[in-house]
Amino acid sequence: MFFQHLLNGIIVGGIYAMVALGYSMVYGVLQIVNWAHADVLMFATFIGLLLTTYLKMPVFAMVLLVALFASVLGMSVERVAYRPIKSGNRKMAVLVSALGMSTFLQNLAQLIFGSGTRQFKAIESKSFSFSGFTITNLQILILVVTSVMLLILYILVYRTKIGIAMRACSVSVDNAKLMGINTNLIISGTFGVGAFMAGVAGILIGVYYSAVYPTMGYLLGMKAFAAAILGGIGSIPGAVFGGFIIGTIESLGAGYISSAYRDAFAFFVMILILVVRPSGLMGAKHIDKV
Amino acid sequence: MNKVKDLLKTIKSIRFTKWQKMIFLIALIGLIVSAPYIITDNYILHIVILCSIYACLTLSLNMIIGWSGQFSLGHVCLYGMGAYITTLLMTQTGMNFFPATILSTAFTSGFAMLLCLPTLKLRGDYLAVITLGFGEVFRLFLTNSVSITRGPAGIPNIPDPVIFGYVISSKQAYFYFVALIVILFVVFMKRFNNSGFGMAMIVVNEDDIAATALGINVKKYKLLGFALGGGMAAFMGSFYAVYMGMISPTSFAYAESIKMVSMVVLGGIGSIPGSILGAVLLTALPEVLRAFSEYRMVIYGALMVVMMIFRPEGIWSRSSRMLNEYKIKAFENYKKK
């Protein structure tokens, strides 16, 4: 049973990792938490649901379209809710604006798509079992897609020019601007890449649980944020690592402690980490200078 | 837009003499006493009471956000905790409303301090996430521990409060009760704002490093802000429980926290009249514009974004009001010379 829980945890953890990356990358560049990130994910998943049920689109084309839609939505969120804010107490203003954007998207989805839960069946489910160990083709697919996406992201961030510019922005936006980097474009791009990953993750989780609903982003986002904090917010390997750990803890906790409090484990881990080591497991220690 | 701004400025710059204030106060009391006789429609009275409840809740959240400068998204947890503890004390032990409320307010204040204690070092976003997490865990607890809270079904038949043998049960009586609470809260906040405690807290909010340099115990004031805000929210939760006569976990969901935050933001962070204005606007408007009531949360969300872009200090801001006062004082000094 232990290995079964572990496997389930790792599979869900991979999805959390993909969502957590969006939080972590945006935080790395702008030092703000993009509260609307998970709601962008939810919106994109609904679009995917519509594409499959009404247009009967093939799965891969659908995933690609949804991810592109998500990145456009993510970039527009940045344009509308974050960039125009130039007030004195900017941190508080951005926080409130981000919350507002999240509330807006969530309730807009409720108005458009209805507040009920919808089934999402894109792929026929088959299960294989070896010696007391069950894995479905869906789970294998999720593992493969997650690994491929993480690999692509790794190449993008560490092996391309855009990646260098992104990392430069995360060290210091002002200095990056002095080096001739179009920082606005890079910030937009960071939101876009994060939302692209979130779009794919949304489809995966929607198909995995076969449930899409307007508030799905809320809990998923919180768990992914917990993962980002656990790994050290702003750090890309940290976010991936944190995602897998949160997924595993949640799965083991639900299996061995209490399944009713399944959603609470991520919060407990997050609170513990924030109290004991606020910079996370892999994050750089940040010292405020006076 | 500019005209509205000018109008607001002129309203804010009006200063009354003592007699004018007295007359205004008497008129206000007269209005409150006669209100239930003027408003005969029970539904409208219900809306007025709801506005008052939210005004007090907004004040309590503003104590945390506006005065002590900590961002809480789990206010609903403190509000719900007050409501549930009072209800359980009243239904399980047969306690009267007032001792039960005092107990639950004290307990929730303590809990709010405990909640704040590990998060003292954390900044805006982290604190928001942690308080949100507490709110979520609290809601899970309410829904899952059926033996204590009866789970999603909620607790019905909460008895009415009794004062000196008089049972508060009609809408009119509740109206007088809540009016009294609003006045108490406003007077308390006003006195607090002008006290040493309040001023120290504002300094901590503006710049905690400077506050430390001035010899202000930053930790103490942050804890105090949470304790006071939590206590006030718990008090309102208790009132809400006895007024509604039944409570369930759905009344204390995440959306409720968002609603309170948007009231604080709309009215003005750290402003007393702003809190009341924000609460009344956001409670009464959806009722007036019935056709738009399903768009309510969408509008709240959009409003938060728009306010932050165009008027981040809210409708009735603290900063401009203080600035006005300083200007007037400077002008008076100039005249004396």
What total of structural domains would you count in chain A? Answer: 1
Cα B174 from Cα B157, distance rounded (Å): 17
Which of A226, A218, A227 lies closest to A43 in space, CA to CA? Answer: A218
Chain A within 8 Å of B76 (Cβ-Cβ)?
A: no
Please count the residue pairs, one from chain A and one from chain B, whose beta carbons lie less than 8 angstroms apart: 123
CB-based contact, A259 to chain B, within 8 Å = no
Q: How much is the pLDDT for A198?
A: 92
Asked if the Cβ–Cβ distance from B124 to A225 is below 8 Å, we say no
Higher pLDDT, residue A1 or A138: A138
CA distance A59 to chain B (A): 32
Q: What pLDDT does B328 receive?
A: 58
Find the residue in A nearest to B141 (Cα).
A261
How many other β-carbons are positioned within 10 Å of the β-carbon of residue A152? 13
* Cβ neighbours of residue B282 closer than 8 Å, sequence gap 6 or more: B54, B259, B262, B263, B266, B300
Q: Which of A59-63, A165-169, B8-12 has the lowest mean pLDDT?
A: B8-12
* A141 touching B (Cβ < 8 Å): no
Pair type for strands B162-163 and A127-130: unpaired
CATH number of the domain within which B240 lies? 1.10.3470
Q: Residues of B numbered 271-300 whose beta carbons fall under 8 angstroms of chain A's beta carbons: which are they?
A: 294-295, 297-298, 300
pLDDT category at A288 given cuts 50, 70, 90 is low
CB B172 within 8 A of CB B45: yes
Q: Kindly state whether residue B7 falls inside one of the protein's structural domains.
A: no
* Residue B319 CB neighbour total at 10 angstroms: 15
pLDDT for residue B202: 80
| Token pair in block for residue A97 | 């604006």
B185 in any annotated domain:
yes
Mean pLDDT of all residues in A16-35: 88
Alpha-carbon distance of B1 to B3, in angstroms, equals 5
* Residue of chain B with shortest Cα separation from A288: B209
Q: What are phi and psi of B15, to 5 degrees?
A: -120, 135
A111 touches chain B (CB under 8 A): yes
Q: What pLDDT is stored for residue B128 in this prediction?
A: 81
Question: Looking at residue A65, what is its pLDDT?
Answer: 92
Tell me how far apart the alpha carbons of residues B326 and B149 are, in angstroms, rounded to a whole number: 52
Question: What is the Cα–Cα distance from B104 to B79, expressed in whole angstroms?
Answer: 10
Nearest to B267 by CA among B333, B318, B210, B315: B315
pLDDT at residue A176 above 70? yes
- Angle between helices A59-77 and A183-209 in degrees, nearest 10: 140
In a domain, A285, yes or no: no
The residues, ordered by sequence, that sit 6+ positions from B247 with a Cβ below 8 Å of its Cβ are B80, B83, B84, B87, B154, B155, B158, B240, B241
- Give residue A256's pLDDT: 85
B261 touches chain A (CB under 8 A): yes
Distance from CA of B183 to the nearest CA of A (A): 29
A23/chain B closest Cα distance in angstroms: 12
Is A144's Cβ below 8 Å from some Cβ in B?
Answer: no
Q: What is the pLDDT of residue B337?
A: 58
Q: Report the largest interatomic distance among the alpha carbons of chain A, rounded to a whole angstrom.
A: 62
Spatial distance between the Cα atoms of A20 and A231, rounded to a whole number of angstroms: 9
Q: Is residue B295 part of a domain?
A: yes
What are A185-207's pLDDT values in tens digits? 999 999 999 999 999 999 999 88
DSSP state of A129: E
Q: Report, as an integer, the average pLDDT of A79-84.
A: 87
Is A185 a domain residue?
Answer: yes
Tell me the pLDDT of chain A averaged across its residues. Answer: 86
* Any B CB within 8 A of A82 CB: no
User: Does B29 or A39 have the greater pLDDT score?
Assistant: A39
For residues A127-145, average pLDDT: 82
Determine what percent of chain A is predicted with pLDDT higher than 70.
Answer: 96
Position A290 in a domain: no
**What does the DSSP 8-state code read for residue B251?**
G
Question: Has residue B195 been placed in a domain?
Answer: yes
Average pLDDT over residues A270-285: 77
B118 in A contact zone (CB under 8 Å): yes
pLDDT in tens, chain B (337 residues): 677 777 777 776 777 778 888 888 888 888 888 877 777 787 888 888 889 999 999 999 988 888 888 888 888 989 999 999 988 888 888 788 888 889 999 999 999 888 888 777 776 677 888 888 888 888 888 888 877 778 777 888 777 777 777 777 788 888 888 888 898 998 898 888 878 888 888 888 777 788 888 888 888 888 888 899 999 999 999 999 888 888 888 888 887 888 888 888 888 888 888 888 888 888 887 777 777 777 878 888 888 888 888 887 777 776 555 555 555 555 566 666 5
The full DSSP string for B130-173 is: HHHHHHHHHHHHHHH-HHHH-GGG-B--PPPPEETTEE--SHHH
User: What is the domain count for chain B?
Assistant: 1
Range of the domain at A121: 2-276
Q: pTM for this one?
A: 0.83
Is A73:A58 a contact under the CB 8 Å cutoff?
A: no
3-state helix, strand, coil in chain B (%, to 5): 80, 0, 20
The CA dihedral of B259, B261, B262, B268, to the nearest 10 degrees, is 140
CA B221 to chain A, closest CA, distance in angstroms equals 19
Note whether A72 contacts B: Cβ–Cβ < 8 A.
no
Q: CA B327, CA B337: separation in Å to the nearest integer?
A: 16
Give one word for A114, left, alpha or beta, with left for phi > 0 and alpha for psi -120 to 50.
left
Query: Is there a domain that residue B76 lies in?
Result: yes
**Which pLDDT belongs to residue B94?**
78
Burial class (CB in 10 A: 0-12, 13-18, 19+), A204: buried
Q: Please list every residue in chain B whose beta carbon sits closer than 8 Å to the beta carbon of residue A264.
A: 136-137, 140
Q: Give the C-alpha distances (Å, rounded to integers) separating B46 from B161, B259, B283, B302.
A: 18, 19, 11, 27
Identify the domain containing residue B119 by its residue range. 42-331
Q: What interface predicted TM-score (ipTM) does this complex get? A: 0.82
**Nearest by CB: A93 against B118, B123, B312:** B312
Question: In this structure, what CATH number is given to the domain that contains residue A246?
Answer: 1.10.3470
Question: Residue B204: what pLDDT?
Answer: 82
